[in-house]
Structure 1
Amino acid sequence: MGRTTRLVAAWAAAALLAVTLPAAGAAAAEPTARIDLRVLVVDDGGPSVAAIRNELDTAGTPYTRLDLGDTGRARVDAAFLADTVGGGPRAKFQGVVLPNDNPFGAGSAEMAALADYEKRFSIRQVDAYTYARPAVGLNTGYAGSLDGQSAQVTTAGASGPFGYLRKNVPFENNDNGVPESYGYLATPLDKQAEGATYTSYVDAPVPGGSQRGSLVGQYTHDGRSELVITFVYNHYQSQFRLLSRGIVEWLTQGVHLGAARNYFALHVDDVFGSDDRWDSVLNCTPGDIDCPPGSPENDPIRMTAADAQHAKQWEKDHGLTLDLAFNGGGSEAHKEAHAGTDPLAQQLIADQGSFRWVNHTYNHPFMGCIQDTSTVPWKCATDAQGKIRWYSRADITAQINDNRGWAARQGLALDKDELVTGEHSGLRTLPQQPDDNPELAPALTQTQVAWLGSDTSREHEQRQVGPSLTVPRYPMNVFYNAGKAAEQVDEYNWLYTRKADGGSGVCENSSTTTCLREPLSRTTGFADYIVPLESRIAMSHVLANDPRPHFIHQSNLAEERIGYQPVEKLLTDYRTLFADNTPLVNLRMRDIGGELRKRAAWTAAVQSGKVTAFRVGAAIAVSAPAGMEVSATLPSGTVQVRGTGRVAFGTSYAGLRSGWAAPDTGQNTVVLVLPADGPTTSRPLSGKATRVQNPAAALVVPQGVSHRVPYGPGDTVRR
């Protein structure tokens, strides 16, 4: 039994966490260090450090924040950074994030201590935003706006930390009137200091010349490595989101707690039902509650069998499975009006294996308070005592069970754990209904619903409703009452233009959206404006490690099939940005709910200090509350020790392995072993620590970085 195996066995059996091993190639008197899996973030309050913190938070990677603005903060010295455990050295941080290459000032003892620490334990440093200058291995170069610029991953970046990207890294330019990005483009010094090298990972053309200048690169010098980032960003901007994974993987050398993936799922509501149509004269939807009672109704919008066939082929062509939220009562109503036939249902049921199916209740009623629609907007009806009248428990239960029964009679495979109520009703709906229908939770208990769809525009976080956990869904701004592009544009103009331009003017008095500069063209506005806007908004969720699904309606897959267009653009753009080893992850509703549940528990444990983890050589031990699954990202070939055996850890994604690992029964420690060719063991390096220059007094931070620039009127919920 080798020394590493003995160490792991000791951890698994008795949690002898202080055991250490000699490092290959190190002096016998200098044992392999214990490296705690925690990042040190030195924070100046700027947007770039905040962006990296957001990435760590979202992934679930532990870090310690040192606030430079806090006069009572801890001082960085040898004791703050390292100590001794079990007779061997311990590095308290596996990586260091600084706001620039030296935020402590020229000649600072803190920076000298940090440099010594990084050198001793082979700890890497990220300079979140700094100047291009000789102190970081670069010529001075160009400084200015990068709005709309297209950077590229270099050959070294592709074979290194950014191998999950295909090539291009476009910089946002959402508003020509607002400066949104700023950076320094420069080439490496022709003659570096002795032993120093600079390797560019991401570059862009230098304006006015033929050279390309570095935006992200590795500066190795005096036994230390810095990731030098010479452009400023915030965590909303897509250029950061594209690069954030690589920044963290470089910093941690591909070994850290927490994980990130790119998710996209699309729910299609009201399948088998029909949707009311927008009226461009009345500027409302007859048959719905936004129109005065008695308004003449237009022809409803409903998919046909041909639309169903198209949906199946579309999935095959685009590699994305749709989740169909269905109302069986809609099919029965269609049969009553059409001589007992429903070609749409026949087609979809024949092809049912091509889709995933979600219970959307039998008839799609509003299952919150009883709505009083005598006024616009509606209000909750009350009884003689002034108490709110609620949709009953028996009726909620019947709607759930009747739809299940209808599916069973059709032979339709259905996950009974999942439910999306019509309009997410039953859940609180502000401002009219500030509380859940009190009859909802008991009905969910009776029908054993585990996962309940909710609306992110009302409540972004998962929460408990009786026995169920919510699965928040992003509404795409392709309206339920539009089957044609002209209808969509007409309603869009009504909502998002000023009264002077013929709109409702709601946007003029709203803090959550903006007005269009001018009305969109009815013929070109959908393709030229709405499609790219909705695609960008959805992409922002994809890049944010957010598994929450998006939803549209069956009406959007009927007639002109406008719902496909923003999704097609999203998929096309994604495949031009990401390499084949980083596919979109398309989960069904219960799996999304489970991912959100595990993340919430993990995040709470990390933030409350209940998770500890460290690495000694090739072995990693992670301790968490008993029974909790552990989230991590590790090199390919990593295994988990379970009992007397070993199993592969996680699944492959973006060139690494990531996922959840459960401890053995009754244990609270997960033991993992890195592959033999994984990251090199940290060990002391010879030589003298570098002298670090202080950057200039102020770095440029444009308005569009200090305050995010919305994509457009529909961009109301960006996280």
Structure 2
Amino acid sequence: MKRTFRTTLLTTGALIAALCVPAMAAPADAADARVDLRVLVVSDGGPATDAIAAELDASGTPYTEIDLTRTDRPVIDAAYLADAVDGRDRAKYQAVVLPNDNPFPANSPEMAALAAYERTYDIPQVDAYTYARPEAGLQYPVFGGYSGSVDGVRAQVTDAGRSGPFGYLDGGVPFEDNSPTVGESYAYLSTPAAGADFTPYVEATIPGSSKRGSLVGEYRHDGRRELVVTFVYNQYQQQFRLLARGIVAWMTDGVHLGASRNYFAVHVDDVFAADDRWNSTLNCTPGDVDCTDPNATPDPIRMVPADVDHAVAWQRERGFTLDFAYNGAGSVDHREDNDGADPLADRLLTERGEFRWINHTYTHAFLGCRQDTGVVPWRCATNTDGSIKWVSRNDVSDEIAGNRAWGRLAGLPLDDDELVTGEHSGLRVLPQQAADNPNLAPALADNGIDWLASDNSREPEQRRVGAATTVPRYPMNVFYNAGRAAEQVDEYNWIYTSRAQGGSGICEDNPATTTCLPAPLDLATGYAEHIVPLERQIALGHVLANDPKPHFIHQSNLAEDRIAYPVLDGVLDTYDTLFTQNTPLVNLRMADIGTELQRRAAWRTAVRDGQVTAYRIGTTVTVEGPEGVAVPATMPEGTTRAGSAFGEAYAGDRSGWTASADAPLTLTLPASATTSTAPDPGGSAPAGESAPDTRVPEGVAEPLTPGAGS
């Protein structure tokens, strides 16, 4: 639903005067004004405005935040909101986000200034979480509506929402219900107030009624537009993540800096090798350095040819490609032990074109310090002078180059600049190894490695290692040492239950751990009923958060019971029920993910340092930024750059990165971006009455952290 500046601005003066709202001088031609591509977020410290700010952060959309709880904050007045540049009137913000429809005291001059600004420059306002009331275009909930929990409710996008800002959704918006004892979502459901120009975009059935009440809707009044949201949320909850894209699209009319996708990539480590199995009696994994029982015998888990056939068929059915991180020595050793036979490798190499391949080092050796395994936990071995013994540059390089050579001889389609070291070794690992192996960076340079995998649970930020850059990966809680569901559950119980229940007591020692169990899971049902739904939820949360980082599992999880597939299917099946076909999952390889993260970091720095200027005048968008920094932008379908289509089609818009140039980036919006419906001149209440308290009622939890297990 595209708009331009109101053509009736000069007729609203009488209305402004009648409402006793200080008038902001209207430009001689409002459509000729400059509107900067920046959002104003006014926060009261609540989770709703924080969630919207987090969405803007993630997509790279510039915004300015004012914290109402700070005494030293700037005063919002006409001068703060607008001025003139080169003789042209300028609106400094393309949208305004408020905690509710009016967070200021009654008759506040700041709210009056905002209302006048929005009216003058046709600036949308988002009410992040507000009470259903006539001032927001809705009836009070006591008049046939509802106030209370909406945990587990499946809301619906209306026809207006699907033809407007939420058209990327397939219709349903499920609200989380992660705990029967915790209230996770509170909402006000209500219908439009009598005479209000209100269009619901997302609705849910009012309990005890056949009527539906609005959760998200657009209220047009007094020459202004508001997006009225009447449920509380935080940035991690699925319902917000589903609607966040549409909220930003609505407030910016689909014209904003920044871009977002729904990403999902899965790395499968240790391909061709074997992974040692969990021992439920010893509660450790024979073969690991910390499993020291002298009678413990390693029990390897290794894929077989049928597992390869299943992986190929699964990929084709799902339209999804797995990344296989391989260790060539795994096949070499297997052939040596089996008279030259390795049916698994033969089958994998026959189907090598079905997968993406990543160098995982030749033997999966630990490439950090030399490990002293005579103590538990292990420690770094030291020289006589007390200095750390490091794996040498030559040894690190041999692991990289040897595996690459094996892969080339096998005909694997490699990207030579990618590397996953065994256990992400070589990089610092606390508490034993506080620094990177100093020989790692030179060895990476020797082998032309640009992208090095890291463990997101240890290092969530991308960083440089010599000439290489890390790509943080999410470890899935599908264990490397489990090929069968019962093994996975047994180890899960050991880790996440108390000592009194036969567990390790990790949760007692670290009470902030979110996956702790009140009681052990049933070995027969615990995987399907508890672990799979939880891991699906966590992974899907990353997907919906515009997060391109890959997830990783191990080849053992594709063998035997093939326990990885229920989690992966859960993510893909749920995604398919939520999104339309114009919003596909984006499945990138590691180098492309690294590039995406690197571009975001450079863009974030440029925006933070004030090096980006972007604005819209009519149907022309101009962006100026520092040389060498690519620009992310989202524009309506039909937008062009130098006569050619801009960006790529995604979620009903055009978006993508545009390489920087010496000259400013200029985009031309389609003519449809200038159409507008005339504002309602009717006599709704002035912006003078503050909203009632919209916090969640006493006794209802307002979740401020991710759902369980995040």
Question: TM-score under structure 2 normalisation?
Answer: 0.93
Structure 1 residue matching 2:471: 3-state secondary structure: strand
Tell me, in whole angstroms, the C-alpha distance in 2 between the residues paired with 1:467 and 1:52. 36
Superposed CA deviations along residues 403-437 of structure 1, whole A, max 9, x for unmatched, are: 11101111222110000000000000111111100
The one-letter code sitting in structure 2 at the alignment partner of 1:324 is F
Superposed CA deviations along residues 673-699 of structure 1, whole A, max 9, x for unmatched, are: 111222548999989996023211453
1:341 Cα deviation after fit: 1.6
1:73 Cα deviation after fit: 2.1
2:397 corresponds to 1:397:
yes
Tell me, in whole angstroms, the C-alpha distance in 2 between the residues paired with 1:613 and 1:704. 42
Partner of 1:3: none
- Gapped regions of structure 1 (runs ≥ 5): 1-20
RMSD: 2.0
> Per the alignment, do residues 654 and 353 of structure 1 end up closer, same or farther by CA in structure 2, a change over 3 Å counting?
same
> Per the alignment, do residues 672 and 347 of structure 1 end up closer, same or farther by CA in structure 2, a change over 3 Å counting?
same
Structure 2 contact 182–701 (Cα < 8 Å) conserved: no
Match of 1:647 among 632, 644, 654: 644
Match of 2:692 among 690, 693, 696: 696
Structure 1 contact 629–663 (Cα < 8 Å) conserved: yes
Structure 2 residue matching 1:610: 3-state secondary structure: coil
Partner of 1:462: 462
Partner of 1:12: none
The one-letter code sitting in structure 2 at the alignment partner of 1:184 is Y
The one-letter code sitting in structure 1 at the alignment partner of 2:149 is S
Structure 2 residue matching 1:330: 3-state secondary structure: helix
1:337 Cα deviation after fit: 0.9
1:527 Cα deviation after fit: 0.6
Partner of 2:52: 52
Structure 1 contact 454–470 (Cα < 8 Å) conserved: yes
The within-5 A match list for 1:15-26 is: none
Tell me, in whole angstroms, the C-alpha distance in 2 between the residues paired with 1:461 and 1:590. 16
Superposed CA deviations along residues 622-670 of structure 1, whole A, max 9, x for unmatched, are: 11111311111100111123xxxx3321111110011111233x33x21
Structure 2 contact 221–684 (Cα < 8 Å) conserved: no
> Per the alignment, do residues 689 and 631 of structure 1 end up closer, same or farther by CA in structure 2, a change over 3 Å counting?
farther
1:386 Cα deviation after fit: 1.3
Structure 2 residue matching 1:415: 3-state secondary structure: strand
Superposed CA deviations along residues 49-73 of structure 1, whole A, max 9, x for unmatched, are: 0110101111111111112122232
Superposed CA deviations along residues 225-281 of structure 1, whole A, max 9, x for unmatched, are: 100000111101111111111001000010000111110000000000000000010
Match of 2:670 among 675, 680, 695: 675
Structure 2 contact 630–657 (Cα < 8 Å) conserved: yes
Tell me, in whole angstroms, the C-alpha distance in 2 between the residues paired with 1:511 and 1:640. 54
1:582 Cα deviation after fit: 0.7
The within-5 A match list for 1:281-430 is: 281-292=281-292, 294-430=294-430
Partner of 1:591: 592
Partner of 1:130: 130
The one-letter code sitting in structure 1 at the alignment partner of 2:650 is Y
The one-letter code sitting in structure 1 at the alignment partner of 2:579 is F
Work out the percentage of aligned pairs sharing the same amino acid: 59
Partner of 1:602: 603
1:205 Cα deviation after fit: 1.2
Q: Which moved more, 1:359-368 or 1:373-382?
A: 373-382
1:383 Cα deviation after fit: 1.5
Tell me, in whole angstroms, the C-alpha distance in 1 between the residues paired with 2:494 and 2:683. 68
The within-5 A match list for 1:147-546 is: 147-189=151-193, 191-192=194-195, 196-292=196-292, 294-514=294-514, 515-546=516-547
The one-letter code sitting in structure 2 at the alignment partner of 1:539 is L
> Per the alignment, do residues 672 and 74 of structure 1 end up closer, same or farther by CA in structure 2, a change over 3 Å counting?
same
The one-letter code sitting in structure 2 at the alignment partner of 1:609 is G
Tell me, in whole angstroms, the C-alpha distance in 2 between the residues paired with 1:162 and 1:22. 23
> Per the alignment, do residues 22 and 329 of structure 1 end up closer, same or farther by CA in structure 2, a change over 3 Å counting?
closer
The one-letter code sitting in structure 2 at the alignment partner of 1:353 is G
Superposed CA deviations along residues 362-397 of structure 1, whole A, max 9, x for unmatched, are: 000010111111122111111211111111110000
Partner of 2:86: 86
The one-letter code sitting in structure 2 at the alignment partner of 1:48 is A
> Per the alignment, do residues 307 and 184 of structure 1 end up closer, same or farther by CA in structure 2, a change over 3 Å counting?
same
Tell me, in whole angstroms, the C-alpha distance in 2 between the residues paired with 1:573 and 1:704. 28
Question: TM-score under structure 1 normalisation?
Answer: 0.92
Tell me, in whole angstroms, the C-alpha distance in 1 between the residues paired with 2:93 and 2:706. 36
Structure 2 residue matching 1:671: 3-state secondary structure: strand
Structure 2 residue matching 1:332: 3-state secondary structure: helix
1:353 Cα deviation after fit: 1.2
- Gapped regions of structure 2 (runs ≥ 5): 11-26
Tell me, in whole angstroms, the C-alpha distance in 1 between the residues paired with 2:259 and 2:150. 30
1:570 Cα deviation after fit: 0.7
Tell me, in whole angstroms, the C-alpha distance in 2 between the residues paired with 1:67 and 1:59. 21
Structure 1 contact 618–681 (Cα < 8 Å) conserved: no
Tell me, in whole angstroms, the C-alpha distance in 1 between the residues paired with 2:40 and 2:473. 34
Tell me, in whole angstroms, the C-alpha distance in 2 between the residues paired with 1:695 and 1:475. 44
1:507 Cα deviation after fit: 1.0
Superposed CA deviations along residues 203-244 of structure 1, whole A, max 9, x for unmatched, are: 111112221111100001111110000011110111111111
1:166 Cα deviation after fit: 0.7
Structure 1 residue matching 2:331: 3-state secondary structure: helix
Structure 1 contact 640–671 (Cα < 8 Å) conserved: yes
> Per the alignment, do residues 703 and 513 of structure 1 end up closer, same or farther by CA in structure 2, a change over 3 Å counting?
farther
Structure 1 residue matching 2:48: 3-state secondary structure: helix
Tell me, in whole angstroms, the C-alpha distance in 1 between the residues paired with 2:295 and 2:377. 15
